[in-house]
Amino acid sequence: MVTGANGFIGAALANHLQAKGYNVLGTVRDDANIARSHGRVVSVGNIRAETDWHDALLNQNFVVHTIARVHQMRDSSKEALAEYRYINTLGTLNLARQAASMGIQRFVFLSSIKVNGEFSVIGEPFTAEDDPAPADFYGISKLEAEKDLFRIAASTGMEVVVIRPPLVYGPGVRANFRSMMAWLYKRIPLPLGAIHNKRSMIALDNLIDLISVCLEHPAAANQVFLASDGEDLSTPELLKRLGKALNRFPILLPVPEAFLTKCATIIGKGSVAQKLCCSLQVDIEKNKNILGWIPPVRVDDALRRTAADFINDKKM
């Protein structure tokens, strides 16, 4: 069973597993989303602490949980934290308890690198063994879910695997990554030429492959894995390589980082500037050592696929 089977990650995962021979059941929020999904799909309503998963869990062996209340830039109130917890923590644990009671063998939880923190020091990437340091409500809610999932695993015998991806990109990507492609496509000059950071990302195909391995590999049971393409890029390097994929040469102005950050803060875009300027590196040696997993898709190939989808969408 794959939750969020109409989402960016869930849809790609369901299709991939079906192609591998799995008998996949996808879940979506309502009947309107069933028509936009492929394969066997059922609606389960909103993901809450009270959601009834019984019918969807019947005759299943594995669960991959991709649904979450996603990070919102302006969520700063106590009410927002409660909503994150209600969906990402309590909603996840409700599903996990029902899954364990119905004999599910393995529960794969798509968490977030935000559990580790927002930024890392260049050359000191996050590892799966680092002490968590979430800095926002989204990361806090994901960490709380992780902790209780492992408690459920210990008390029931259901195996749990946690995967923490950073930014995921690929065909159909939205939000900031799509905005970045739009800037490049329109040849908008960008004040990002003087940034010297390093950031990990993961292509959708690489993440799907890792999830697939974590479903099957015996050594994945009750482990936390970080995810990335295995190649970290600076913001200017990413823009240049993405621009090449889009057949657009980026115009990168060498604006000093401190000045850029100060100006962005004045206009209320300080958090966006931080993401563009700061580093966030991820170490995936554990994946290689325990699972024998190496990202199968190269960054430039993944960027080309992402860019081609963006261009085709623009032409429609």
The pLDDT value recorded for residue 33 is 65
What CATH code is carried by the domain that includes residue 245? 3.90.25.10
The residue among 301, 309, 270, 273 whose CA lies nearest residue 185 is 309
Are 207 and 244 in a shared domain?
A: no
Domain total in the chain: 2
Residue 211 has what pLDDT?
98
62 and 11 fall within a common domain: yes
**315 and 215 within one domain:** no
169 counts as catalytic: no
Using CA of residue 64, residue 65, residue 67, residue 73, what is the dihedral sign?
negative
Q: Of the residues 22, 84, 86, 138, which is catalytic?
A: 138
The reply to whether 135 and 34 lie within a common domain is yes
Residues 270-275: contacts with CB under 8 Å, at least 24 apart: 271/73, 272/73, 272/176, 274/118, 274/119, 275/176
Residue 304 is which amino acid? R
Q: Show which of 183, 213, 230 is a domain's final residue.
A: 230
Distances (CA, A) of 20 to 15, 65, 159, 219: 9, 19, 22, 20
28 and 124 belong to one structural domain: yes
Whether residue 179 is found in the same domain as residue 153:
no
pLDDT number for residue 45: 84
Q: Does residue 296 share a domain with residue 190?
A: yes
**Same-domain status, 163 and 97:** yes
- Whichever domain contains 80, its CATH number is 3.40.50.720
Residues 146, 288: one domain?
Answer: no
In a shared domain, residues 183 and 310: yes
Final residue belonging to a domain, choices 215, 230, 245:
230
Q: What are the mean pLDDT values of the chain's consecutive 10-residue runs (316 residues total)? A: 94 95 92 66 87 94 94 65 92 98 98 97 96 95 98 98 98 93 96 96 98 97 98 97 96 93 85 87 98 98 97 80
Q: Do 6 and 67 fall within a single domain?
A: yes
Residues 121 and 47 in one domain: yes
Residue 297 is part of which domain span? 173-198+231-316
